[in-house]
Homo-oligomer: A and B are copies of this chain.
Amino acid sequence: MIQLQSQDKPITISKQALQRMPYYIQHLRTMHKNGIAIIAAPALAAALGLNEVQVRKDLAAISTTKGKPKTGFNVDELIANMEEFLGYNNIDEAILVGVGSLGRALMCYKGIAECGMNIVAAFDINEGLVGSQICGKYVFHMDELIEICKRLNVRIGIITVPADQAQGVCDKMVESGILAIWNFAPSHLRTPENILVQNENMAASLAMLSKHLGEKLTR
């Protein structure tokens, strides 16, 4: 469970509920574009393939206004509430370590900026990359990581190095004052317990796909 401390009421929301939020936002934005002003939980549930009650609870958790029986919720207000809740408005600055194909892609990926994250600098050990710019962001040498992080007061680190180097990078990030790590390497990172590690586990996704396919094809 994740405890939120807003001005007036403490909001409690499950990890899973939090992860559903971006889907709600995406769908609500589409509705907004199409000029739809009101949405009811059952309709939203149907559109996203979720359970009605689950949606109602999720909305209740973040909505500042109660839903109206027989009517539903105001689309624009929900969008605003969710964006506020997820912090899409206050931009978080991040640094990235590992300027390979994946790292480069993230530096250029607009989807990240849309979620309120700004990658301010990248780091690598490859001298050939150091000093270059990728999508307007400078690449520095790893040796400068700690100094630059402290100077810019960056709190989020993105790891896109090979698995066997991830732990080393992680340790340096922790030393630099990084509080949350987005880890794309398929390795478990050991960290002090107040640091959040969010694993983007592509290998796990591939495993799911591959297993599903295996079942489909052998039956």
Contacts and interface: CB of A to CB of B under 8 A. Distances in A.
A34 to B, nearest CB: 11
Contact of A19 (B5, B115, B208, B210): B208
Interface stretch (A68-76, A138-146, A186-194): A186-194
Given A200-B202, A205-B200, A211 B86 contact: yes
Nearest to A15: B208
A151 interface: no
Contacts of A213: 87, 92, 155-156, 179-180, 196
A198 interface: yes
Contacts of A22: 186, 201, 203-204, 207
Contact of A87 (B194, B203, B214, B216): B214
Contacts of A164: 30
Contacts of A203: 22, 25-26, 111, 115
A119 to B, nearest CB: 12
A214 B2 CA distance: 11
B3 A207 contact: no
Contact of A202 (B30, B112, B156): B112
Q: Copies of this chain, how many?
A: 2
Interface stretch (A53-61, A100-108, A168-176): A100-108
Contacts of A19: 201, 204, 207-208
Contacts of A187: 23, 26-27
Interface in A16-32: 18-23, 25-27, 30
A47 B190 CA distance: 8
Contact of A206 (B2, B112, B163, B204): B112
Interface string A85-109: 0110000100000001110111011
Interface of A: 2-5, 15, 18-23, 25-27, 30, 47-49, 86-87, 92, 100-102, 104-106, 108-109, 111-112, 115-117, 135, 155-156, 163-164, 179-180, 182, 186-188, 190, 194, 196, 198, 200-219
Given A4-B215, A5-B215, A182-B205, 16 more contacts: A4-B211, A20-B204, A22-B207, A26-B163, A49-B190, A86-B207, A101-B135, A111-B202, A112-B202, A115-B203, A115-B207, A116-B206, A155-B213, A179-B213, A180-B212, A200-B205
